[in-house]
Chains A and B, each alone.
Chain A
Amino acid sequence: MSTTQVPKLTYFNAPARAEPIRLAFYYGGLAFEDKRIEMKEWPGTLKAAAPWGTLPTLELEQGVIGQSGAMLRFVGKKTNLYPKDDFEAAQVDDLIGGFDDLVIALRPAIVEQDPAKKKEYQTAALGDMKNYLEKIERFLQQNKSSKFCVGSGPTIADLKIFTFINAAPAFPWIPTDYFTSYTRINEVYQAVGQLQKIKDYYASRQEAK
């Protein structure tokens, strides 16, 4: 196996699970290969080679990581986006875990094909997500140091929330201000969007189109 010069992140040409990781690399000015594959490339040798049969994968000199949470934490540590303090790190972990639970609540509504059931699941999802959003909002209110989630600067938790809200328009059944109606959540969303590196990333993505 040849050694990889720069980390190689492989995913589909979509935000979803890869986006916070891409943003973390970009924010930290850490060179990486942002490999985007077509859906039709996926089944077959690529999928068989992926450690968990899923994407994204992150190929590093030392080996491959196949779980996006592990990747996000790894890149966060390298780019000043993960707290050195153990308790603050635990708070970032708590937020990311809570957010993952929220995304799981969405899944039945996204996956269901039958239109009647789909509508039912969408209504249920909007209710379920409120529970998580209220918890996340209350959690965010604890931070008095900055507009970000934890401590005085951005972390991977902020990137996770930001990229999720950015992707929400892909689900037209979710009302536009559904997430941003929560004060602290909106504050985090706005604060991340104002970061120069984040603006640069999205500007460069526009040029790529």
Chain B
Amino acid sequence: MSDTPKLHYFNISYGRSEAIRLAFIYGNLPFEYNTFSFPEWPAIKPTAPWGTAPWLDVKQGQIGQTQAILRYVGKQTGLYPKDDFEAAKVDELLCALEDVTGVLRPIFQEQDPAKKKELQEATLKGDLKNSLERYERNLQQSQSNFAVGSSPSITDLSIFVIRRAHMLSWVPTSFWDNFKRFNQITEAVAQLPALQAELSKQQQQQQQQS
């Protein structure tokens, strides 16, 4: 295995690999990024350590669960607390975020446009609102703009990715206005000096494509 970590994922934007990518970039840690398309996936799947993407090749071996990768990279880039209780809060909030994105899965899976729109409206008023309200209540405890303690973590990056995901562009901005801490954390990440170059590049790429 080469010394430079290699991250593998689908060629989609702002999915499960993005928080990991941002963690590497934040910490100025070199990494390779290999992407593949959905049609290519069945042939590649047997080579993935847990049969899922993303996965990370490192010198010692492979890491195959998104949270495990995030924690691993976070520890090397100052994005995972050394204090055990703060680390537990980061873990807790990271876990709970899966419940938020979980309610969105049926929408991604729905192919029929009319049914999709119906599902979106129902989820907005129901599951998404409920899960975000509970999540927001758990974000009240922090003393800073970040989720835990006074410095950014892998949880903040993950929140940012969800809030900014193009896959969620159907959610009206007015909906997000109800979730002040979620927005505050997103803004705090967007302002991080270590991410400016990357985020500007992403903005330019988006403009070129539209």
What residues of chain A have their CB less than 8 Å away from a CB belonging to chain B?
51-53, 60, 62-63, 65-67, 69-71, 73-74, 77-78, 86-87, 89-91, 93-94, 97-98, 131, 135, 139, 142
- Interface pair B92/A77, CB less than 8 Å apart: no
Residues of chain B at the chain A interface (Cβ within 8 Å): 49-51, 58, 60-61, 63-65, 67-69, 71-72, 75-76, 84-85, 87-89, 91-92, 95-96, 99, 134, 137-138, 141
The distance from the CB of A132 to the nearest CB of chain B, in whole angstroms, is: 9
Chain B residues within an 8 Å CB radius of A62: 85
Contact: B88 with A65, CB < 8 Å?
yes
Given contacts A63-B141, A98-B65, A135-B51, contact A90 B72 (CB under 8 A): yes
Count of CB-CB pairs between chains A and B under 8 Å: 85
13 CB-based A-B contacts, threshold 8 Å: A51-B137, A52-B96, A65-B88, A65-B89, A66-B92, A67-B96, A90-B68, A91-B68, A93-B68, A94-B49, A94-B50, A97-B67, A139-B49
Q: Are A69 and B95 in contact (CB under 8 A)?
A: yes
Q: Check B84–A52 contact: CB distance below 8 A.
A: no
Q: Are B65 and A97 in contact (CB under 8 A)?
A: yes
Cα–Cα, bound, A98→B75 (Å): 21
The smallest C-beta distance from A35 to any residue of chain B, in angstroms, reads 19
- Complex partner residue of A90 from B50, B69, B95, CB under 8 angstroms: B69
Q: Provide the residues of chain B in CB contact with A52, threshold 8 Å.
A: 96, 99, 134, 138
Say yes or no: B89 contacts A63, CB within 8 Å.
yes
Are the CB atoms of B67 and A93 closer together than 8 Å? Answer: yes
Interchain residue pairs A-B with the least CB separation, the first 9: A97-B65, A93-B68, A70-B91, A70-B92, A74-B88, A90-B72, A67-B95, A67-B92, A87-B60
Which of A51, A66, A78, A86 makes the CB contact (< 8 A) with B76? A86
Choose from A74, A86, A89, A139 the contact partner of B84 (Cβ within 8 Å). A74
A29 and B89 CA atoms in complex are apart in Å by 23
Chain B residue numbers with a CB within 8 Å of A63 are: 85, 89, 141
Task: Give every chain A residue within 8 A of B68 (Cβ-Cβ).
Answer: 90-91, 93-94, 97
For the complex formed, measure the closest distance between the CB of A88 and the CB atoms of chain B, giving whole angstroms.
Answer: 9
Query: Is the Cβ of B91 less than 8 Å from the Cβ of A67?
Result: yes
Q: Do A135 and B50 touch across chains, with their CB atoms under 8 A apart? A: yes
Q: How far is the CB of A34 from chain B (nearest CB, A)?
A: 19
A62 to B91 CA separation, bound complex (whole angstroms): 15
Q: Which residues of A contact B85 (CB under 8 A)?
A: 60, 62-63, 74
